[in-house]
């Protein structure tokens, strides 16, 4: 690179990524092919609109790329093009979720989503996000004792509040979500069912987490977490009498965005092909096994694991333990000094501030990409225990 300053910083970040144990549950390491697509000449092209219906000339190549990406996305999740449509233009997860609400919920309508402190995402209607300012959130959470979703409570809440859309999905809920129960609840109150599978998309692709497609009207996902692609997102939408695909496409462009990032879409296509392989299935299996080993070892060392364990790639640890342990911030800072990267996280029924909460969230997607197995997970758990216990 001619720009030595940026070149140096990219190298430094690359080194940092190599030299740490990366337990950020939403991160991963992409392949060289994904990086090549991201850094290609495709970044030079404007392509407002959709394949075959663009506003500028010169679209012959990029139309093929976007169509290929869409067909790979449907194939990976075993969706017949006659039943499902996919939009691959969202720049990332938050705009994808907002586009769904723009399409399906009138201003000030109700979004029923998991509260941020119980495991949901900002864009599931939290008040500090645009999704809580333009729409009204009906928050739900987990049972105080079991720390898993109580579907009877959820149904009661939905029937009392009659939301326009129910969002199933999370950023820090370690368990399997019962999509059938969500569907029944959505039907009982006449709401759309949206699943945000950003965290577990790679696990669905690898058949180690239930697929939401049988039950949802709309499924959003980022591509860069367990799916191991570039920063990007997709919206899958059911084709039925309501013509939802048209509403979603219009909400993404021209509703929310201008020209799509074709370099990003090409990189998504590459990642989707990589995920459609037996090797990726093995990877997904290993991610969950690793998370179970990490959670199991931490638990046996005396740490409180929220919900008692995990069914996915992520583990939520109560480091505060009612004042007997460390705050999430101190735990995260101590671990970073020792080269283990995690994020501080609220735990259900949090009593502390989100800036210094009671827990940390860890995930196994990134380290599994680097080849870690149960043995390494147990060693990491022991190291975490040692660092956090030190007086
Ligand atoms: N930042 C992502 C996560 O860490 O889960 C969600 O946007």
Last residue of a domain, one of 215, 248, 275: 275
Of 227, 252, 275, the residue at which a domain comes to its end is 275
Q: Which residues of 235-258 are buried (b: 16+ CB within 10 A; e: fewer)?
A: bbbbbeeeebbebbbebbbeebbe
**Ligand 1 lined by 70 (C-beta under 6 Å):** no
- Helix axes 374-389 and 278-300, enclosed angle (nearest 10): 30
Same domain, 102 and 171: yes
385 is catalytic: no
Residue 55's CATH number: 3.40.640.10
> What is the 26 CA–ligand 1 centroid distance (Å)?
6
Residues 45 and 57 in one domain: yes
CA–CA dist 180, 178 (Å, integer): 6
* 315 alpha carbon – ligand 1 mean position (Å): 14
Contacts of residue 186, defined as CB under 8 A and 6 or more positions apart, other chains included, come to 158, 166, 192, 193
Nearest CA-CA partner of 86 in 97, 105, 72, 65: 72
Residue 50: Cβ-neighbour burial (10 angstroms; 0-12, 13-18, 19+): middle
Alpha-carbon 100 to chain mean position: 16
Active site residue 318: no
In tens digits, the chain (391 residues) has pLDDT values of 999 999 999 999 999 999 999 999 999 999 999 999 999 999 999 999 999 999 999 999 999 999 999 999 999 999 999 999 999 999 999 999 999 999 999 999 999 999 999 999 999 999 999 999 999 999 999 999 999 999 999 999 999 999 999 999 999 999 999 999 999 999 999 999 999 999 999 999 999 999 999 999 999 999 999 999 999 999 999 999 899 999 999 999 999 999 999 999 999 999 999 999 999 999 999 999 999 999 999 999 999 999 999 999 999 999 999 888 999 999 999 999 999 999 999 999 999 998 999 999 999 999 999 999 999 999 999 999 999 998 7
What token pair was written down for 344?
Answer: 């501080």
Taking the centre of ligand 1 as the mean of its atom positions, its distance from the CA of residue 241, in whole angstroms, is 34
Instruction: For Cα atoms 390, 305, 219, give the angle at the middle one, nearest 5 degrees.
Output: 130
Q: Report how many domains make up the chain.
A: 2
Query: Rounded to an integer, what distance in angstroms lies between the CA atom of residue 189 and that of residue 278?
Result: 40
Q: Among 123, 131, 220, 222, which one carries the catalytic annotation?
A: 222
Comparing C-alpha atoms, which of 355, 367, 352 is closest to residue 344?
Answer: 355
The residue whose CA has the least distance to atom 4 of ligand 1 is 26
Domain boundary among 275, 300, 317: 275
Say whether both 150 and 259 belong to one domain: yes
Question: What atom in ligand 1 is closest to the CA of residue 123?
Answer: 7
In a domain, 259, yes or no: yes
Considering the domain architecture, whether residues 205 and 155 belong to the same structural domain is answered as yes
Instruction: Say yes or no: 250 and 264 in one domain.
Output: yes
CATH number at residue 381: 3.90.1150.10
Domain that holds residue 45: 33-275
45 domain residue, yes or no: yes
Ligand 1 pocket, residue 93 CB under 6 Å: yes
283 plus 270 within the same structural domain: no
Q: Is the CB of 325 under 6 A from ligand 1?
A: no
């Amino acid at each position: 690179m001619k720009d030595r300053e940026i070149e140096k910083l990219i190298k430094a970040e690359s080194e940092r990524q190599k030299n740490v144990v990366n337990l950020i549950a939403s991160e991963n390491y992409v392949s060289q092919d994904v990086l090549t697509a991201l850094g290609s000449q495709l970044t030079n092209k404007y392509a407002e609109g959709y394949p075959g219906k663009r506003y500028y000339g010169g679209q012959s190549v990029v139309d093929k790329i976007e169509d290929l990406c869409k067909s790979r996305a449907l194939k990976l999740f075993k969706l017949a093009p006659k039943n499902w449509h996919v939009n691959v233009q969202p720049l990332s997860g938050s705009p994808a979720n907002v586009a769904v609400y723009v399409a399906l919920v009138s201003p000030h309508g109700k979004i029923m989503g998991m509260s941020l402190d119980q495991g949901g995402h900002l864009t599931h209607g939290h008040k500090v996000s645009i999704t809580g300012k333009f729409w009204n959130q009906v928050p739900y959470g987990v049972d105080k004792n079991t720390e898993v979703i109580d579907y009877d409570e959820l149904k009661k809440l939905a029937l009392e509040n009659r939301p326009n859309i129910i969002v199933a999905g999370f950023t820090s809920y370690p368990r399997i979500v019962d999509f059938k129960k969500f569907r029944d609840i959505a039907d009982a109150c006449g709401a759309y069912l949206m699943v945000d599978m950003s965290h577990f998309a790679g696990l669905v692709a690898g058949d180690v987490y239930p697929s939401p497609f049988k039950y949802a009207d709309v499924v959003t996902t980022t591509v860069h977490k367990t799916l191991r692609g570039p920063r990007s997102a997709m919206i899958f939408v059911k084709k039925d009498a309501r013509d939802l695909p048209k509403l979603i496409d219009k909400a993404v462009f021209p509703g929310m965005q201008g020209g799509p990032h074709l370099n990003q879409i090409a990189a998504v296509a590459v990642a989707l092909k990589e995920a459609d392989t037996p090797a990726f299935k093995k990877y997904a299996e290993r991610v969950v096994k690793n998370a179970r080993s990490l959670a199991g070892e931490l638990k046996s060392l005396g740490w409180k694991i929220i919900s008692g364990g995990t069914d996915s790639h992520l583990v939520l640890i109560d480091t505060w333990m009612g004042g007997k342990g460390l705050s999430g911030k101190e735990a995260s800072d101590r671990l970073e000094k020792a080269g283990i990267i995690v994020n501080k996280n609220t735990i259900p029924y949090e009593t502390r501030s989100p800036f210094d909460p009671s827990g940390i969230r860890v995930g196994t997607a990134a380290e599994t990409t680097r080849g870690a197995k149960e043995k390494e997970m147990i060693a990491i758990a022991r190291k975490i225990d040692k660092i956090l216990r030190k007086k």
